[in-house]
Chains A and B, each alone.
Chain A
């Protein structure tokens, strides 16, 4: 108990009050600048009827469904690659981490260039294989896949967590497997994966939470418009617009609590359904 006291105090002071306040605001007409006025369920009733809420929720769900698994897969493969004792590996580790430290403004402009339908790198490469690439950020159908591709490239953080996690896999397990004649792939599947499951689980939960609030890059890349045709209008972007552009902080709070509930449900489902697969070596409960 004593050990967790910082988080308890922190929760009360810096998290508890703001969270409860936002819950209260969600039942208020609160423009942000004038004091809140209680209106009961008004904001929530409006939420259900707002087509942009539905649209942005679906966009966010689609983005999460693509970016979370893809990000974990890429980070995992990279971590495996970077865990080899190769000369100069430190340089590669740094390089693969680079995208996650380049400022969003810079990376967004770069990716717009990569995705440019006519002159972009990606369609240029696809063209070499005789494929006529799609319009990416200029096409409502392909804009989200483009953002998902972009997200897999910024997985440096997850990669580092996996890399650190790989150090906990006992070496003698591999040695034993080697003796039993297991292939590399089998070793990965039967030793590395189970031992990494707490970290993959972590990445999955955090990826889910992160994806539910994703919007910054899409905001910068589309100039805040969620274009083309609302296809990149993410839930958090619409929430941001309501809070800081439309003077509807109360409505934004209601949106936030809806998102909170949905994320919480998704997280509980993930916790419950994966409990059997996550292997905590140190936990003998």
Chain B
């Protein structure tokens, strides 16, 4: 059952990888070749040398690491505030935050650009990094849902033991919500890794571009480098796969709640 389903889910990746090894003439064959014949590494060599691959990799990683760090920190704090603390206006602010997601990005793009332009941040990584430190509605909501499942009695107990709110947050909540935090981490990292629109709009210098944007360089007005697109796409998602594979345990190994009665 798992294997059959797995084949269905792995198909696109298989197709992506095999296409990247096909010759140009065979890429357009129909029906598609299941196994490339002949195999060629040409697209990888050309793809990696056509881009400043190392530089774009570094650029991408810098943005990803900062964005992930910022999101995890700010969102877990906010979610804690939204789930475990009582204060006036909590529900209202939660709804306002939630509703900000309901407006399509396309219409806030232009005024948002104005803000960054006024701040003098255009053509830097700041528009791509700094907002992460100010929370993200999606992840706050996600973490809030997780924190809500953690018994409040834990908080009470900690308070009696003399813990401050920040200590409760960092010593109790974060470790307990580790699967959720890991989820937020990988999602943010991936989001920043694949983001194409943000770098496209805010960066005015090709040497600052990211890999996802560099990938677009293989798509033209008149014709595409389809093989290179596939080859660099494969290179682009391999690290994500490895990262996911290495961290997938943390999604499921959070402190199990045995012994803690709700």
Chain A contact residues, CB within 8 Å of chain B: 1-4, 6-11, 13-15, 17-19, 21-22, 25, 32, 78, 81, 83, 86, 90-99, 101-103, 105-107, 110, 113, 119, 153, 157, 160-161, 163-172, 195, 198-199, 201-202, 205-206, 209, 212-213, 236, 239-240, 243-244, 249, 252-253, 256-257, 259-260, 263-264, 267, 280-284
Contact = CB atoms under 8 A, between A and B. Distances in A.
Interface string B112-141: 101100000000000000010111011011
Contacts of B102: 209, 212, 259-260, 263-264, 267
Interface in B43-99: 74, 77-78, 80-85, 87, 93, 96-99
Given A164-B180, A171-B258, A15 B2 contact: no
Contacts of A157: 187
Interface of B: 1-2, 5-6, 8-13, 15-16, 30-32, 74, 77-78, 80-85, 87, 93, 96-112, 114-115, 131, 133-135, 137-138, 140-142, 145-152, 165, 169, 179-180, 182-183, 186-187, 190, 194, 215, 219, 229-230, 233, 236-237, 240-241, 244-245, 248-249, 251-254, 256-258, 260, 262
B15 A110 contact: yes
B12 A4 contact: no
A282 B180 contact: no
Nearest to A254: B107
Contacts of A2: 81
A213 B104 contact: yes
Contact of A4 (B11, B78, B252, B253): B78
Nearest to A21: B111
B107 A15 contact: no
Given A4-B93, A10-B135, A267 B98 contact: yes
Given A103-B215, A209-B102, A256-B104, A164 B252 contact: yes
Given A14-B131, A95-B6, A106-B230, A1 B148 contact: no
A201 B100 contact: no
